[in-house]
Structure 1
């Protein structure tokens, strides 16, 4: 009886299920990154006059008068705060702000650091504490009003933005038709040779 069941199973595989045994199905599960809310809810600044290559003026970051907010820099402004001392009278202002802290290297992490404001020959006459979030392909900054007017946060475009990615998990297994597992064995003497 066991021998007959095995024979039926093999015949089923060879005759009835040939197309199914060759088929393989791949199920891919992608685990999405859950980013902090500030990666979705921020103010975009594209003003090219705040780029480190722009000439000075007397602009002040008055957009922060009502309090701190999350900001993403894009377009002509650059994509991040300058991370090196910026000479006064650049970035469309007289007192130039640059980030002296460490950038968060891993996606979904937040770091706190100082923005220094350069004036005359001092690269850090005034400072603000800010937060920076790594949102994967960009940074957002929680910025507040600079300590003096005619002060502004200066921006640039870095050559490389470090990101961390997640690799999806793939599982592959053979799928057989249900007939290959659910069948009836007929054991009648009249069917024997």
Structure 2
């Protein structure tokens, strides 16, 4: 199973600081969405998907994807969770196609050690927002 690592520190900007990837352009996770690879947050991107609604111009793009769903607690367990795209003060402005969801699997006993897989394809310009469970 191929897993893509999301590592950019701009993914942790939930406050609309308009931080962009190194190329200076708004990011888009459309290709990640289309390929339906498993992915994880690591390094400067944080350790898991954000559970807090980002404001406009966060996470390296126009809007950010986040979830407030409970995460799996047992290693190997997979949950289907709802995800949302925030925009202009509306935390669920964009609801994910195909029942607004993704799969989440707990990988180890470490806090925040999850992998994610999108169900369906989304839109640009939107990115997956990360957070660090130790600090956020």
TM-score (norm 1): 0.57
Q: Name 1:135's counterpart in structure 2.
A: 107
Structure 1 or 2: larger helix share? 1
- Aligned-partner SS, 1:105: coil
Moved over 4 A (4+): none
Q: Hey, what's the Cα distance between the residues in 2 that align with 1:46 and 1:146?
A: 21
Distance 1:121 1:59, change over 3 A: same
Q: Does 2:10 match 1:49? A: yes
Q: How far does residue 60 in structure 1 lie from its aligned partner after superposition?
A: 1.1
Q: Which residue of 1 aligns with 2:40?
A: 72
Does the aligned pair in 1 maintain the 2:72–2:106 contact within 8 Å? Answer: yes
Paired position in structure 2 for 1:148: 123
The 1:82–1:65 alpha-carbon spacing in structure 2 relative to 1, beyond 3 Å, is closer
8 A Cα contact 1:84 1:99, kept in partner: yes
Partner SS for 1:108: coil
SS in 1 for 2:64: strand
Two-structure CA RMSD over aligned residues (Å): 2.1
* TM-score normalised according to structure 2 size: 0.78
User: Which runs of 5 or more residues in structure 2 are unaligned?
Assistant: 21-25
CA distance in 2, matches of 1:146, 1:126: 12
Structure exhibiting the larger radius of gyration computed from Cα positions: 1
Gaps of 5+ in 1: 1-37, 161-193
Q: Distance in 1 between matches of 2:86 and 2:35?
A: 22
Tell me if structure 1 keeps the 8 A contact 2:75–2:106. yes
CA contact (8 A) 2:11 2:128 kept: yes
Q: How many residues align?
A: 121
CA contact (8 A) 2:54 2:63 kept: no
